[in-house]
Amino acid sequence: MNSTKTIQSALISVFHKEGLEPIVKKLNDLGVVLYSTGGTEKFIKDLGIDVIAVETITDYPSIFGGRVKTLHPKIFGGILNRSEEIEDQKTLQEFKIPQIDLVIVDLYPFEKTVADGGSHQAIIEKIDIGGISLIRAAAKNFNDVVCISSVNQYASLLNLLEEKQGATDIADRQKFAAKSFATSSHYDTAIFNYFNSKEELPALRLSSNEAKVLRYGENPHQKGYFFGDFGDLFDQLHGKELSYNNLLDVDAALTLMSEFKDNEPTFAILKHNNACGLASRESLVEAYRDALAADPVSAFGGILIANKTIDVATAKEIQSLFCEVVIAPSFEEEAQAILSVKKNRILLRQKHWNLPESQVRTAINGYLVQDRDSKTDLAEDLKVVTKKAPTTAETEDLLFASKICKHTKSNTIVIAKNKQLIASGTGQTSRVDALNQAIHKAKSFDFDLKGSVMASDAFFPFPDCVEIGDHAGIVSVIQPGGSIKDELSIEYCDGAGMSMVMTGTRHFKH
């Protein structure tokens, strides 16, 4: 089989015309016969270049409002015939089917129409039929045909035409075929997910055309990739490339701060996906200082995030801390300049808070899919189960602690006071260990726990945690409840003069 082929004819049918002109002119210079239809045909004619209308080959006009144009044996026969098969070549001659060596397609913008909030009918009309069929046919017959399946491939094609003057080898064609099947599978995935938006069919389809090769994975000996449109959510203003671990921490920071997005100035510091500092204050610089005070040791090399514009005063405070990433809705110009002094520090401007409604992770030999935990405990969710009710200030602290607890690795206990994270026990195998870890950490940084509150991600099966908390100075507790032994913890709180509220909602994070 002859690996090298010379393009002598091309079928062009595209939605996006940007970048097409130099390709058409180059093909014309090479003497390639051009076939086209509709708006693309007009575009080529307007360039003063000869083009043959598909309708003159098929003897059929574009019908059904343009839904049927290229779906015809004389078109698909020209693409799918095999040059090495004698019978195929005889059939071409018998039915006067023109050979097609190059197919250039750019599909209707289905995803964009959905994203732009198009009507259901408008979205349906953007489901490309002829284009996707041309792509599959041309890619299948890559032994003979070059297939360009997206506007994103125009530049690659032009470079190839300039370099080889219309010749292609099997490696060229197979590479474009792989890209073509990536295009078609992604397109079909988007359509399926639109029709299955209510998840009536228990099927998982994931696809991303946005791929970034990372320096490495979690560790240097592991490969790492990020699939997704990072630029939709963030503008990177400064610093080195984000690593695999940076991205995990940025995700944790964003989901945590989403709980405080509409609150007073709030600053959080995270390390290994858990908050080591968080505070809400009247000014951002005060919030930063009190967030840092919770654990200045763990803050080293951490991820910082704010819910308000980072001003000069805050930037000056941050500048003295070694940190990997700083995230905010915006930065004052001078503040950005101050934080950019350290060349590797990553500054991210957050554009919005929209996150996927579902979460996906690999498990064993498959995938686990769940709804995002979008439930935030509110004052109206609280059920006072003790004789003593929390004060207004204590209730605010309980809800504050609950938000942090929800985004901390289980088992966890979070201790808070005056809208400041005092300490947390994270990722422990017992809730008692988590509480003891939190108390030890708070005392090591000279915090007075008297009058503080604590939040638990799950119920207390025994009264040991509330007893330990009581002896440490904790006065109020928030937990989901649901243990058959809830009364034991309630009875202890009543005897100790503590208040306890239950939410009815567990917030495990594994």
Using CA atoms, how far apart are residues 267 and 195, in angstroms rounded to an integer?
40
Query: Are the C-beta atoms of 399 and 260 separated by less than 8 Å?
Result: no
411 prior amide bond cis, ω within 30: yes
Query: Are the C-beta atoms of 106 and 14 separated by less than 8 Å?
Result: yes
User: Interior CA angle at 206 toward 205 and 210, to 5°?
Assistant: 155
Q: Is 485 labeled as catalytic in the residue annotation?
A: no
The amino acid occupying position 55 is: E
Phi and psi at residue 275, to the nearest 5°: -75, 130
Query: Are the C-beta atoms of 405 and 456 separated by less than 8 Å?
Result: yes
Q: Which residue in the list 25, 164, 272, 342 is annotated as catalytic? A: 272
The pairing of beta strand 366-371 with beta strand 358-363: antiparallel
Using CA atoms, how far apart are residues 398 and 330, in angstroms rounded to an integer?
29
**Torsion angle of the four alpha carbons 330, 417, 439, 432, in this order, in degrees rounded to the nearest 10:** -90
Q: Is 140 labeled as catalytic in the residue annotation?
A: yes
Residue 501 β-bridge partners: 384, 478
Using CA atoms, how far apart are residues 159 and 172, in angstroms rounded to an integer?
12
Q: Which residue in the list 17, 25, 26, 140 is annotated as catalytic? A: 140
Query: Are the C-beta atoms of 470 and 498 separated by less than 8 Å?
Result: yes
Query: What Cα–Cα distance (Å) separates residue 84 from each residue in 72, 109, 358?
Result: 23, 36, 49
CB neighbour list of residue 199: distance below 8 Å, 6 or more residues apart? none
Helix (H, G, I), strand (E, B), or coil: what is residue 206? Answer: coil
Query: Are the C-beta atoms of 262 and 252 separated by less than 8 Å?
Result: no
Sign of the C-alpha dihedral computed for residues 471, 480, 491 and 465 taken in this order:
negative
Query: What Cα–Cα distance (Å) separates residue 287 from each residue in 87, 154, 238, 279, 322?
Result: 78, 50, 23, 5, 18
Where in the sequence numbering do the catalytic residues fall?
140, 272
